[in-house]
Structure 1
């Protein structure tokens, strides 16, 4: 089973986005260890996966979120967090930074609560539609991400594009075409059936076509970032 197989937002038009996310989650699995904090955890869809690597999982999210949450700690990531310093081995934050009006605060707080040598893993969208309005504030270039994360104090910052041009565009087209499923129930069924075939074929072909793109970082669906807290505090 894929990591995101039971994710509540996984649908016929967007499963490629979750397959891409699964790939990067697995790629960085060695970083999920000890006490892991999930900033902006929502319904904590990856709790079970993280617990196959970490010793303890703690979800943090805002109680006024637009979606359901199963957070262990209710807190606003735009503000100082009610968490002691140097208690976490890992902080992960997936598709959250764009929803924060004060993103630097979250990164600063992640640095504070991490133990020296601890790791942060962040995922953000880039070429993506406005979602969870009105709480969708930013899109980040690789340079903006590196600047903000280094400003928080992190070192060894690595920013990776999640996809190439074709996967990005197929996902955008799929989200757009989904809006045309309208009308009486029989018509909606026919439209969804026809579009589902197009969605499936497009999402199967896109990763293959991405091999033609030599510069994924220019037009990608999003970025994954890993960084480390220095072992020496001055």
Structure 2
């Protein structure tokens, strides 16, 4: 599994704690993506749209993997919101706008697009382009947040998308749409509590006391118990959605 950078660990509050509530957003997403890729038939031609640093390339060895990105993000350009420590695209196969990818119609058997659409000004145009370049019967794999903090600025245009966005936008171009929730209301609240020590220091210049950290842990113990007994709170709030669809 991919390693989480130390700065992100600190922000997520996953150091020095045995509680796991609110800390599995990325892990669960990675597991779903890797599992879904592994189920694709060997030999399919797949386009990783908005591939970035290509974290899933190693899980596509049974596929004909091609990467695409606009290639413009630099964490040093803007000191705003959440940024990664460093970023390296490496060698991209295609550098282009996501809504205008220079390939022929019906070029790919599968498209992978993970945590990208919130960084696209016109996400519906991107999905329309996916419809153009994906073969009939082809697979579309998408993940995006339902609610997110500002990250990868200045390329952060939406905090997230609801399941109804996908059900509405994809219904005319795809069928057999599967929508899977990542996390739930209680997990999301715990995630934000885990971030409190970092954000309190950064934006309020306040160091939490030992007693305050204990109270945070007490709240998270409650949220963990509620999450284990959850029965549908993801309809209110969750980390995001996993989408698996097939082209008509």
TM-score bracket, normalised by the shorter chain, equals: 0.7 to 0.9
Distance 1:76 1:12, change over 3 A: same
2:231 alignment partner, one of 208, 214, 226: 214
CA contact (8 A) 1:160 1:217 kept: no
Could you list the structure 1 runs, at least 4 aligned residues long, displaced by more than 3 angstroms after superposition.
6-10, 12-15, 204-209
1:115 alignment partner, one of 129, 135, 139: 135
1:45 alignment partner, one of 55, 59, 64: 55
Larger mean CA deviation between 80-89 and 26-35 belongs to: 26-35
| SS of the residue 1:64 aligns to | coil
| SS of the residue 1:105 aligns to | helix
What is the match of residue 4 of structure 1? Answer: 2
Alignment partners' CA distance in 2, 1:60 and 1:9: 27
Alignment partners' CA distance in 2, 1:82 and 1:8: 37
Alpha-carbon deviation of 1:209? 4.2
Alpha-carbon deviation of 1:136? 1.6
What is the match of residue 35 of structure 1? Answer: 45
| SS of the residue 2:235 aligns to | coil
CA contact (8 A) 1:32 1:90 kept: no
What is the match of residue 224 of structure 1? Answer: 242
Could you report, residue by residue, the CA deviation over 1:98-149 in whole angstroms, capped at 9, with x for unpaired residues? 1111111211111221121110010010122122223222221111121112
Q: Which runs of no fewer than 5 residues in structure 1 stay unpaired?
A: none
Alpha-carbon deviation of 1:178? 1.4
| SS of the residue 2:170 aligns to | helix
TM-score of the superposed pair, with normalisation by structure 2? 0.74
CA contact (8 A) 2:73 2:152 kept: no
CA contact (8 A) 1:4 1:10 kept: no
TM-score of the superposed pair, with normalisation by structure 1? 0.78
1:106 alignment partner, one of 88, 106, 126: 126
CA contact (8 A) 2:147 2:161 kept: no
Alignment partners' CA distance in 2, 1:44 and 1:65: 14
How many pairs were matched up? 215
C-alpha RMSD over aligned residues: 3.1
Alignment partners' CA distance in 2, 1:121 and 1:22: 12
